[in-house]
Amino acid sequence: MVVLIVEDDRSLARLLQKAVHEIGYATRVESNGVEALAVAQAGDFDLILLDLMLPGLDGLEICRRLRAAHVSTPILMITARDTLESIVEGLESGADDYLVKPVRIREMLARMQALLRRRTASPTLLQAADLTLDPTTRKAKRAGKTIALSATEYALLEYLMRNAGRVLTRSMILEHVWQYDFDGCDNVVDVYIGYLRSKIDRHHPHPLIRTIRGTGFCLDTDDAT
């Protein structure tokens, strides 16, 4: 396992590097956003620890460019910004998870390992009705048509499909997709469900994503009404 650490605070970068080494992973450290982007695009990393505020190019723009270039490496964004708006902005840019400074090393390592487990999960093709999701290529299709997904949309759809036919509460989705405590601000789930519906169910006569009033959401296993 090789982790790319992008952090311009040298003391924090050394601390992160030491923690990652102690659990047996190799590291590469970059402190400039432009250089980090080039390294991330060219290298074969298992995970990226990405600071938000960087010289040259900030973390949000790095995320956007990596996802636009179809780099699917899990990204754990690290920043001092702790508002819900900042968290949502980071996730929407393509980050898979979001960690607020000051960094608690045990929490960071737990989030890293959760992202790595997600990436190395079973590559079996997932299917519900005419919707398919390939964990190997991270591509979704419905009725044979490819659906473009952001990193967070992919993670949410994968969780729904692995639990197709089961009612999932908002708190369950937050815990398994984001692994972040939103202090009750679970409207982020509704926002991303809306994004998925616009891509998966629009123009199809039988919507697959159902809202279970007062509970959460369920992905149907067939397209019957």
**CATH number for the domain including 89?**
3.40.50.2300
- pTM for the full model? 0.57
Residue 77's pLDDT is what? Answer: 94
pLDDT of residue 225: 45
Residues comprising the chain, all counted: 225
Q: DSSP readout, 46-79?
A: SEEEEESS-SSS-HHHHHHHHHHTT----EEEEE
Res 175: pLDDT:
74
Residue 225 lies in a domain: no
Q: How confident is the chain (225 residues) per 10-residue block, as mean pLDDT?
A: 91 93 89 94 89 93 91 90 83 89 91 81 77 85 90 87 89 74 68 94 91 92 66
Residue 117 confidence (pLDDT) = 80
- Domain range spanning residue 196? 126-219
CA angle 167, 157, 139 (to 5 degrees): 150
| Residue 81: count of CB within 10 angstroms of its CB | 15
Sign of CA dihedral 58, 64, 67, 72: positive
- 28 and 66 co-located in one domain: yes
- Are 79 and 135 within one domain? no
Contact 63, 75 (CB under 8 A): yes
Collapsing DSSP to helix, strand or coil, 132 comes out as strand
What integer pLDDT is reported at residue 22 of this predicted model? Answer: 86
